[in-house]
Amino acid sequence: MLTRKQLLALVALTLMWGVNWPMMKLSLRELSPLYFRAITMTLGASWLFVFFRLKGIRMWPAGDEWRTVATLALPNMLGWHTISIFGLKELSSGRAAILGFTMPIWTVLLGAAFFGQKLNRRVVWATLAVSVAIALLMANELQTLAGRPMGVLWMELAALSWALGTLMMRRAVLTLPTEALVVWMMLLTCGCVWVLAAVFEPVPSFQFSPGMWGSLVYGVLINYGFAQIIWFGLARNLPPATSAMSVMAIPLIGTLSATLIVGEVPHWQDYVAVALVMSAIAAVLLPARKA
């Protein structure tokens, strides 16, 4: 049973990560995708490193721990964060959030395909629900004159990368504290993203509007900062059902808050898709009732 403090922290965390989608979209109006990721992730990871180090957590990997960090960073950080930002560039922020959070379903399907996990009726329903949601959004993008169907593909590739990373995390033998693992995965990813940004994108002028500066601060302090600290504080004691409800709510909050933050008006396809994805997440994450 969650305490009042834990419940408030979970609500804050869900709101932070849900609102982050339209905040990222706001940033992409004035800053290219790779430089946006490089700047916010570098600054966020840096102050997280200092915070956890001051708390007495061992932050420096040793020996083979560096190999574990690098291996897990590829799908969990470099794959997910790099591919998803290109998907967000092409799509509305709410739509990108809906597609990104098909990850739990891909995790189950990849686990069944490559790790011998069993499928059941709930997984079949989740797969059908997500398939219909993706088809709805893809069809709408194709029908719209300014539609970006490639954005749908980018987001699903990102979700697949995140799902693969999740399976790898579950099977990894970790000797490094989780806080240090995540921070170093972010820092190694930053190095790669800075190189990619320098090669493929023009150097930003940094003559941004006040709203743009605000969205960057949100990314550094909230998304890569306080939200991570809250999550680490909750993760060890969070019941599976509660965690699932939080994950379910994030794409809904992203869709609804986008209207206020970036002026996006969801279509009926978005509402149907978010309902389908939420039901699919519930099917694969919520524990089954005991007889």
pLDDT tens, position by position, 159-180 = 999 999 999 998 888 899 999 9
Is the separation of the CB atoms in 14 and 249 below 8 Å?
A: yes
Which pLDDT score is estimated for 291? Answer: 47
pLDDT average, residue stretch 223-240: 83
Which pLDDT score is estimated for 145? Answer: 63
Is the separation of the CB atoms in 171 and 53 below 8 Å?
A: no
Amino acid at 18: G
Whether residue 100 is predicted with pLDDT greater than 70 in this model: the reply is yes
Which pLDDT score is estimated for 285? Answer: 83
- What Rg value do the Cα atoms of the chain yield, rounded? 19
Whether residue 258 is predicted with pLDDT greater than 60 in this model: the reply is yes
Map the chain to HEC letters.
Answer: CCCHHHHHHHHHHHHHHHHHHHHHHHHCCCCCHHHHHHHHHHHHHHHHHHHHHHCCCCCCCCCCHHHHHHHHHHHHHHHHHHHHHHHHHHCCHHHHHHHHCCHHHHHHHHHHHHCCCCCCHHHHHHHHHHHHHHHHHHHHHHHCCCCCHHHHHHHHHHHHHHHHHHHHHHHCCCCCCHHHHHHHHHHHHHHHHHHHHHHHCCCCCCCCCHHHHHHHHHHHHHHHHHHHHHHHHHHCCCCHHHHHHHHHHHHHHHHHHHHHHCCCCCCHHHHHHHHHHHHHHHHHHCCCCCC
Q: Could you read off the pLDDT of 259-272 as tens digits, one per residue?
A: 999 999 999 999 99
114-120-123-124 Cα dihedral, nearest 10 degrees: 100
Whether the pTM exceeds 0.85: the reply is yes
At 290, the pLDDT band (50, 70, 90 cuts) reads low
Q: Distance between CA 53 and CA 223 in Å, rounded?
A: 19
Amino acid at 174: L
At 116, the pLDDT band (50, 70, 90 cuts) reads confident
pLDDT average, residue stretch 270-283: 94
Instruction: Return all residues near 258 (Cβ < 8 A) that are at least 6 apart.
Output: 21, 22, 25, 92, 93, 94, 264, 266
Domain boundaries, the chain: 33-201+210-283
Whether residue 128 is predicted with pLDDT greater than 90 in this model: the reply is yes
pLDDT average, residue stretch 12-30: 95
Among 151-160, 162-171, 223-232, 233-242, the least confident range: 233-242
